[in-house]
Structure 1
Amino acid sequence: MNKSAGAVVAQNVVRRCTSVTFSQDEKYVIISDKSGDVYRYIIEQQPDEQRPTEQKQDEQRLKEQKQDEQKQCSGELLLGHLSMVLDLVLVKNDKYLVTCDKDEKIRISCYPNSYNIHSFCLGHTQFVNSLIYEEETELLISGSGDCTIRLWDYNGQQQYCQQCQCQISDTTVTTKDTPYIKCMSYSPKHKLLVVGFGNNKSIEIYRLKREDKELSLELVQCIDIEKDLLDIVVNDDKLYILQPIQDNCILVYNIIGHTGQQKLTLCTDEKTTPFFNKLNSLKEFFSGCLDLECIYPNLRKSRTDNMAEYLQRKEKRIHGEKLEPPTYNEKKPKLS
């Protein structure tokens, strides 16, 4: 958007986007898609009054301009994963591009020469769908479907692992009802990490602590909500929660208290409340997100126990019992 609230550029992409971020100078937008590719598009536009007229452009200038336009339309392929990329973030003043995918991997690549891989962050046991960069401590914070929050340095070394309160029970490992981290938002001002979940109607707030060069996350507060949230954002002293509830899609919480003793309370400010009440009344605007289906439950890898039947059959062989045919279906070869 420009100053007149008009679109700066409109761009068609190859496949459906899964994550978007901007470069620090705001000249480029970087987009990942469901096939695992990451593209970079130019968004910087020269003002109309500064653009040279066609009469002043020579053939070489026209040729270069055409090449730039083609590059802008097609986008520049930066890197690719073998599986769907779920989130991306630029770190260390755009020195590295960090991407994560549904196969539990976090990759740290050089930017913009992203064919050079700096390191990997390995440790999650389910899809990784949320990345945050903490600039002061140069930490990478990741959230995953295994309900763990992990802290990394940009060399791929894990610094800390926090198991969330909505832990995964053994009885729900293979079901789509298992809780998972859906989104995260971080406040550098308050050192608070807000974590939202899927299949769990709660929000957890953690404080990032650093004592004697050791990092940790301390659970500060839990907030119960009516439905699974869509997204969360922390901005200055407020937490914004987007949830699929008609007439109450946006919830606002205030962050109050001194450093180390912050609490979140529901916003009842007379100046702020009427504004968000008016937003919540825009039923058509929010109608598209009320029945929005989330893809994350379908990305979970089921852990099947294929040893139980084998051990049972082995025990029968030892005791000389007659074995029953295996439960799986064997394909017989076709005779020509």
Structure 2
Amino acid sequence: MASSAGLALSGQALVVRGGSRFLVTSTASSDDDILFTYDCSSAEKKPQENKGEDGQPVDKGSDTILASTFSQSGSYFALTDDSKRLILFRTKPWQCLSVRTVVRRCTALTFTASEEKVLVADKSGDVYSFSVLEPHGCGKLELGHLSMLLDVAVSPDDRFVLTADRDEKIRVSWALAPHSIEAFCLGHTEFVSRICVVPEHPELLLSSSGDSTLRLWEYRHGRELHCCHLPSLQEPAEPWGDKRFAASRITYWGRQSCVALLCDCIPVVYIFQLDVPRQQLVYKQQLSFQHRVWDIAFEETQGLWVLQDCREAPLVLCRPEDGQWQSVPENATVKKVCAHLRGNWAMLEGSAGADDGFSSLYKATFDHMTTYLKKKEERLQQQQQKRRRDLPSGPNGQTKRVRAGQASRSCPS
């Protein structure tokens, strides 16, 4: 899957990525400079990366960043790219610690809560763990699915690894014994695009899917608590009313128990409130934008940052005012960060045509019985037409029905 631009926040550190590059700036008004920049195209490449199992050259990759994330404390940052590399950074101060090779191109990654490992999920359905404490150590295969993995998460106590795949499944595995499966969360009817363990309620899981739903689970028992059908929340006049879509990002704000949901290729962000006592999601509103939204992320103190395909205003900050979320006027912080992005717009330009690729994950369905019956009917009609053509015609053009026995007696010997 191609990757569009992305956004990550930890404390006041804000990371924006696009193509093979990312930059780090601060949302603090006192910090005016870009803190760190990195370009994956300049990262080291091992010779064996360019050889396949048969020793023949293979695709080197485009160096495009596919996924990235902060550790829980913000002390580490990791990314994977299209050249099959996992790159680990220390953030205080920013420094590249290691560049390691992964087996397959990766779709998602996450740090364990202890920050001792990075878990990487790939297209072949496997999850590998890489040590943070030994930044040059090789990866270890932890678990595998029979289909492509789209997201991976860990429980806040590091006891469980949660994986979401293309075959509509969410799997809950024991971290210390990944072959031991605690539960499956079943109910989605299309691929599961994103999963998110609620930090303040570690027994709860949010998931989104190509079936255009957002679901709430008590994941240890695989029990679905609530299901929101997103198309029912749209206005009839919206041009994407009949379009199937999946969420490309789920993010949670603990201050007001808010859940923000960004949908793939639709310039809309849905806002929900998590009602824990009633075990359900309460729909609040939707934020519509004039430009394509690439990514969203909550900052604990300020609100929701929105990264969009607009050079004049690449970042928008939204806050709740009188119970309604709305964009805030450009303040000094927003102006500063937007100025940094305008100065580095070249790294985001390639994302304008990129697509998260969820549309290609829908499985084609075939109605073989309808096709069979249609072809059978066509064959019967052709046979009837052929019989009519072969029968002799009377003086008035009417078809005579002559028995085979009578025809044989009327013929001269």
2:293 paired with 1:224: no
Q: What's the counterpart of residue 254 of structure 1?
A: 319
Q: What's the counterpart of residue 322 of structure 1?
A: 380
Alignment of 1:42-57 (within 5 A): 42-44=131-133
Give 1:90 shift.
Answer: 0.4
Give 1:85 shift.
Answer: 0.6
Give 1:7 shift.
Answer: 1.0
Q: What's the counterpart of residue 210 of structure 2?
A: 145
Q: What's the counterpart of residue 287 of structure 1?
A: 349
Q: Which moved more, 1:229-238 or 1:140-149?
A: 229-238
Q: What's the counterpart of residue 249 of structure 2?
A: 183
2:222 paired with 1:156: yes
Q: What's the counterpart of residue 333 of structure 2?
A: 272
CA distance in 1, matches of 2:107, 2:362: 17
1:263 equivalent among 293, 304, 324: 324
CA contact (8 A) 1:109 1:117 kept: yes
Judged with a 3 Å threshold, the aligned counterparts in structure 2 of structure 1 residues 39 and 266 are, in CA distance, closer, same or farther, namely: same
Judged with a 3 Å threshold, the aligned counterparts in structure 2 of structure 1 residues 220 and 2 are, in CA distance, closer, same or farther, namely: closer
Larger RCO: Structure 1 or Structure 2 (Cα < 8 Å, ≥ 6 residues apart)?
2
CA contact (8 A) 2:217 2:223 kept: yes
- Structure 2 gaps of 5+ residues are 1-89, 235-241, 384-413
The residue type equivalent to 1:276 in the other structure is V
CA distance in 1, matches of 2:93, 2:352: 30
Give 1:165 shift.
Answer: 3.3
- Structure 1 gaps of 5+ residues are 46-68, 169-175, 326-336
Structure with more strand by fraction: 2
Deviations 1:191-229 (A, max 9, x none): 111111124221111111134xx3221211111112442
Deviations 1:14-51 (A, max 9, x none): 11111010011211111111111101001125xxxxxx
* Matched residue SS, 1:9: strand
The residue type equivalent to 2:122 in the other structure is D
Give 1:160 shift.
Answer: 1.0
RMSD: 2.6
Deviations 1:274-317 (A, max 9, x none): 22221331212323322223221000123344444456678x69
Alignment of 1:68-87 (within 5 A): 72-87=136-151
Quick check: which has more Rg, 1 or 2?
A: 2
Give 1:183 shift.
Answer: 1.7
CA contact (8 A) 1:166 1:200 kept: no
Give 1:143 shift.
Answer: 0.5
CA distance in 2, matches of 1:275, 1:166: 38
Deviations 1:211-267 (A, max 9, x none): 4xx32212111111124422211121311122233343322212345xxxx321212
CA distance in 2, matches of 1:180, 1:33: 19
CA distance in 1, matches of 2:163, 2:281: 23
CA distance in 1, matches of 2:312, 2:109: 28
Aligned residues: 283
Alignment of 1:19-38 (within 5 A): 19-38=108-127
Give 1:269 shift.
Answer: 4.8
Give 1:178 shift.
Answer: 2.8
Give 1:135 shift.
Answer: 3.6
Q: What's the counterpart of residue 107 of structure 2?
A: 18
CA contact (8 A) 1:253 1:267 kept: yes
Displaced runs of 4+ in structure 1, greater than 6 A?
A: none
Q: What's the counterpart of residue 48 of structure 1?
A: none
Give 1:95 shift.
Answer: 0.5
CA distance in 2, matches of 1:238, 1:44: 33
CA contact (8 A) 1:195 1:203 kept: yes
The residue type equivalent to 1:4 in the other structure is P
CA distance in 2, matches of 1:324, 1:249: 63
1:5 equivalent among 94, 116, 135: 94
